[in-house]
Chain A
Amino acid sequence: MRGILVALVALLTLATSGGCSANEVTLLNVSYDPTAELYEDFNTAFSAGYMTADGKTVTVNMSHGGSGKQARAVIDGLGAHVVTLALQYDIDVIAKETGKIPADWRSKLPGNSSPYSSTIVFMVRKGNPKAIQDWPDLAKPGVSVVTPNPKTSGGARWNYLAAWGYASRAFAGDETKVRDFVGAIYKNAAKLDSGARGSTTTFTQQGIGDVLVTWENEAYSSLAELEPGDYEIVYPSLSIKAEPPVAVVSGNAEKDGMQQVAEDYLKHLYSPEGQKIVAKHYYRPYDPTAADPKDIERFKQIEMLSVDDPVFGGWAQAQAKHFDASGLFDLIYQPGK
């Protein structure tokens, strides 16, 4: 009985080990939520123009989800060859807990391994009825805010830090006031989805909320999909430079013989073709020279903080202080605070 089961499992694994043709290899890219369209385009371009050293073509499989959630899956055994997540901490955690990513992964590629960056903006409904212009408007009573859950979503954590950064400056570092301010924004939250995409759906499809706090690229991407004029993008006065990094998961890639392909895949993101696609999908490319100027024009130049600024102290500190269990975010939801 047990033998039959084991045989069945083995059979299944064989039968479904991705596109079992002799001339093809499969690369698994585990990514965060909003990058679906970006990688759809990029993967097509990459597969079309690339061949391995022994003449095989590459099919790229994607998995998407909240960045924190994806990191956990990789730690649990999801066989990613590359990870393209929303923030540095999520990749660090994989490196620390599994050792499958070298500790110095960040320096292996240009721009701290971020081929693209983005920032945090607001999306409002046509005509901006609640006159949302900047962060304080989100904390006002009667304003309904849509933002994802920082515990599972990478974008949600960038949102939170951007708000925190603004408040820190506005209140000259008085942490009680900053906490209250950020707390007020989250108390106005109508719904916490597990990923940035979920929040976009809530805002646009279900008609919940007055303002959506989201990635710049996600905002533009939605505008393009929806009826023109139904929504507007509002840039806050101060935001944060969101750098989603990429890394090769050597532990998995080497085992599957995909190390070279994985490295080439990530390097291609920095190539002119890659950067052009990146810009086309509303990400700020690392190297703007290769992109279509029209795509670059739409990015407004606003002041941006960096996660390494003293107010945050880098991701490790920010994660521990705000997002870990019993961190400041958890306190915001305590009854009585």
Chain B
Amino acid sequence: MSSAHPHKIGQAIGEGRWTRLALITIALIFLGLMLIAPLFVVFVEAFSRGVGVYIDALAMPDTMSALRLTLLVAAIAVPVNLVFGVAAAWAIAKFEFKGKAFLLTLIDLPFAVSPVVSGLIFVLLFGANSVLGPLLDSAGIKVLFAVPGIVLATVFITFPFIARELIPLMQQQGSSEEEAAVSLGAGGWRTFFQVTLPNVKWGLLYGVLLCNARAMGEFGAVTVVSGNIRGVTTTLPLHIEILYNDNKAAAAFAVASLLALLALVTLAVKTVLEARFANSHAAQRRH
């Protein structure tokens, strides 16, 4: 990352060694207490009643259904949001037009909106007291308290992730390469796939990872629209809540450890990606 900054220069004008040590220690302690400790607790509690209980919790039919549902929801939400993210990033990063700030605000909205409000929005839209609800119901399509409702709410919550990763990245890269490609006669799609995409592939991948992690872990919005039908409309996070409230804390943590593992894998992949990206990014800088 800062390979252009030899350590020596930093030392000449930097903080004293003790200051540095103190700052590092404080940072480590803070992160350790605030971030690592909860992660640790998940795994400790998961095995607190022994490996047998752990395996039972995972093998439970309700856990399996929850896993399937969660995967299904993510499998729909992520690709759909991927297409959107790319389209939005292309429009925003490569062109100048009025109203960009407003568009960006709209895209960022789910970040600032409470997940509960997101869920409420869909209840108002598809509930029995709305216009759409009874209409769809008479056509035999159940949205609320069924899987489609969960998918919709998840799509709403997670669509900014990929866009937000790509937009600053593409903005930073500018449009010179694409313009060069076009001037050399490449069509729109070809330019996109052969010029733009390779440049953003690490950012894109990371955005997809984050989007996926959030899609699988969404709780607040899904709570409101799910109906909690065990084994049918309970996603993994909902299932965890049910287990926890049913006095089965060890089982709850066992299932939670699955999601925690997913989070760890996400982070590990990101670290690897970043190492690769840093190299290609540094290479790009020397244009």
Contacts and interface: CB of A to CB of B under 8 A. Distances in A.
Assess A/B contact in the complex (Cβ within 8 A).
yes
A201 B128 contact: no
Interface in A52-95: 61-65, 73, 75-79
B244 A62 contact: no
A61 B137 contact: no
Interface of A: 8-10, 12-13, 16, 18, 28, 33, 36, 61-65, 73, 75-79, 98, 193, 195, 197-198, 200-201, 204-205, 222, 225-226
Interface stretch (B6-14, B88-96, B141-149): B141-149
A76 B230 contact: no
B271 to A, nearest CB: 35
Given A77-B144, A77-B145, A64 B230 contact: yes
Given A13-B148, A73-B145, A225 B231 contact: no
Band of interface residues on B: 20 to 34
Given A65-B228, A73-B227, A226-B247, 19 more contacts: A8-B76, A9-B148, A12-B76, A13-B140, A13-B148, A16-B147, A36-B246, A62-B231, A75-B128, A76-B123, A77-B126, A77-B127, A78-B145, A78-B227, A79-B142, A98-B128, A197-B245, A201-B247, A205-B247
A16 B126 CA distance: 19
B232 A61 contact: yes
A64 B146 contact: no
Contacts of A13: 140-142, 146-148
A63 B218 CA distance: 19
B19 interface: no
Nearest to B248: A225
Interface in B70-85: 72, 76
B70 to A, nearest CB: 13
A222 B245 CA distance: 12
A74 B16 CA distance: 66
Complex A-B, nearest 10 residue pairs according to Cβ-Cβ distance, in ascending order? A77-B128, A78-B145, A63-B229, A16-B147, A76-B127, A78-B227, A63-B228, A9-B148, A197-B245, A12-B148
A136 to B, nearest CB: 29
Interface of B: 72, 76, 123, 126-129, 133, 137, 140-148, 151, 227-232, 242, 244-247, 249
Contact of B242 (A64, A78, A222): A64
Contact of B229 (A28, A76, A200, A222): A28
A70 B140 CA distance: 22
B146 A61 contact: no
A77 B133 contact: yes
A9 B143 contact: yes
A184 B227 CA distance: 35
A205 B49 CA distance: 14
B232 A77 contact: no
Contacts, number: 81
Contact of B147 (A12, A33, A77, A225): A12
B234 to A, nearest CB: 9
Given A76-B123, A76-B127, A77-B137, A12 B151 contact: yes
Contacts of B76: 8, 12
Given A13-B141, A77-B133, A204 B247 contact: yes
Contacts of A10: 141
Contacts of A61: 229-232
Quick one: which of A12, A79, A197, A205 has the most chain B CB within 10 A?
A: A12
